[in-house]
Amino acid sequence: MVMLLKESQHKLVKLPAWRRRMLLVLMLLSFVLLLGRGFYLQTLHKDYLIKKGEAFSRRKVVLMPHRGKIYDRNFKPLAISLPVESVWANPTDVQISVGQLKQMSSLLDMQTKELQQKLQKKKKEFVFIKRRVAPDVAKQVMAMKVPGVFSQKEYKRFYPAAEVTAHIVGFTGVDDTGVEGMELYRNHVLSGSAGKRDFVRDRKGHVVEDLVAVKLPHDGQDLVLSIDRTVQYVVHRELSRAVEKHKAKAAAAVVLDAKTGEVLALVNIPTYNPNNPVNVASKLRNSAIVNIFEPGSTMKPVTAAAAMEFGPYQPDTKIQTAPGYLRIGTATIHDAHPNQVLTVSQVIQKSSNVGSAKMALDLNREQLWNTYVQLGFGSTTKIGFPGEASGKVRDYKTWRPIEQATMSYGHGISVTLLQLARAYTVFANEGELLPVTLTKLSEPPVGRQVFSAKVANAVKDMLELVVQPGGTALKAQVTGYRVAGKTGTAHKLGEHGYEHDKYVGSFVGMVPASNPRLIMAVMIDEPSNGEYYGGSVAAPVFSAVMNDVLRMLVIPQDGNALPVAPPADAAEVKEAM
């Protein structure tokens, strides 16, 4: 029986010859298929395999450049970059325990669920876990040695002057790219160029070798502004006080170096903190440069200069302004206070609309329009600031007599505060208009002659009368210095014309008047605490700022040791609107 069983098993194991041959052929075919597949992958499809291999082992890391610093004219820092770290991960390589997950989320001040979601994005090979982390925190995270988690060096921008210089300097975004202000306009200079490192690493994330030479980043260039940080602080302080005192909607001020056109200070209220620019959209506008307004009576000196340059007028030419109003067609122009015969100088001192309108109407329309254009109204100052407005000056061919008259005292024409400040450089420099700049100059600028020196100096003398008894700007006086300036008050334009209960009060002044070194333009938007004339809301800001700044800059006095005090019963003259 046993013998039969063994014989039977031996017969089952032994295969027929044809079956053995078939099995051998199948094995050979399988081997050929494997060889063919290998040949296909190694030759025809090798690019795919290389890419897959590189995806797991090859890495490129961007080496961030150091962003250039921004300084004021005295090399005080306005924007600097501080080193930080950004923690990132390759989710396909991450191996992290529950305990490590909790520890890492605690270190990075994140919700555990949020961290887990980022690390589970398996289809991505690069995910930022958290950017701009303090270096010591990033060091603790890396000390955990979690596979697939890395850190890279970056920079975070810091603004020492914070709100005071926010509208000039601006700020950068999370990628260290300029978003507002000079950070945006000069981004190409400040940002530099990034470097890179291309390397191979093993499954544990260790670098095996660098594939090519490391390309080092090229740091950005530093930028020196024309701004004087100390002057900027004083202007910010006084403008903030004025907004609070007069319950104004907003305010702006510009201070120029009268000899170079450099912007020494530019302030807007309200402002924001560029170190933490969250929910600040409504405060980002640099009103002094991007907002336009009707300048009101601050345009009268321009009209007087044009009348003397191109017309039959001299400072002592008499103009009949009685009975205090002037009818032009169906419209009527009014003075705030009825006057009789006024000289051109008195028209400026007392801010007579009638006198200004009569001078303008005696001029050729094209001459008056050309004066506005030559002074830069209707076009940008080319200061290079993002969003700068050009203002509005209508073509003289469309002017009606009433429009020619009203533009003479700043109605029907729109300007920026920077344009207005720049226009007054002609009165500080014997008729020469200077370009304006936000960067420090290394050589004197080239200006453009608009008025003759005789006319410009005559207007400057008129502007001194405005700050003296009988003028509209008694509150602009500065102890020990002669001041020349002009007030302006205008109704604001609304959707349905002029708003009779909303005003813009302004003042433009220069000091010392004998040899102007500084020009300051101030604009108070919608003062609502009872006072709204430029002489009451804007001129005091000029006085307060200059009382400090002139001494800080050691500018010699040119007046009496005490201000020219008006008589006790002298009332301040208010300009017409």
DSSP state string for 114-133: HHHHHHT-TT-S-EEEEEEE
Pair 238, 541: CB distance under 8 Å: yes
Pair 180, 290: CB distance under 8 Å: no
- Both tokens of 220, joined, read 């950005």
Is 297 considered catalytic here? yes
Measured distance CA(39)–CA(404) in Å, rounded: 89
Pair 155, 66: CB distance under 8 Å: yes
Rounded to the nearest 10°, the torsion over CA 365, 368, 374, 377 is -90
Measured distance CA(483)–CA(559) in Å, rounded: 9
Give the position of tokens 């008499």. Answer: 318
**Bond into 270 cis (ω within 30):** yes
Element (H, E) at 497: strand 497-511
Measured distance CA(153)–CA(133) in Å, rounded: 10
Helix, coil or strand: residue 42:
helix
Pair 354, 342: CB distance under 8 Å: no
Q: Tell me, what amino acid is at 387?
A: G
- Both tokens of 198, joined, read 């291309």
Q: Which of 395, 341, 352 is nearest to 372 (CA)?
A: 395
Pair 369, 396: CB distance under 8 Å: yes
Residues in the chain: 577
Positive or negative, the CA dihedral 117, 119, 122, 127 is positive
Measured distance CA(467)–CA(135) in Å, rounded: 58
Q: Which of 418, 460, 445 is nearest to 259 (CA)?
A: 445
- Neighbouring residues of 5: CB distance < 8 A, sequence distance ≥ 6: none
Give the position of tokens 């660098």. Answer: 210
Q: Which of 297, 345, 408, 536 is catalytic?
A: 297
412 backbone dihedrals φ, ψ, rounded to 5°: 85, 5
Measured distance CA(449)–CA(471) in Å, rounded: 29
Angle at alpha carbon of residue 97, lines to 91 and 103, rounded to 5°: 95
Bridge partners for 200 per DSSP: 58, 209
Q: Which of 252, 256, 272 is nearest to 264 (CA)?
A: 256
User: How far are the Cα atoms of 523, 524, 552 from residue 248, in angstroms, in the given order?
Assistant: 10, 7, 29
Pair 390, 418: CB distance under 8 Å: no
Q: Tell me, what amino acid is at 312?
A: P
Residue 572 is classified by DSSP as P
Distance from CA of residue 31 to its chain's centroid?
A: 72
Q: Which residues are catalytic?
A: 297
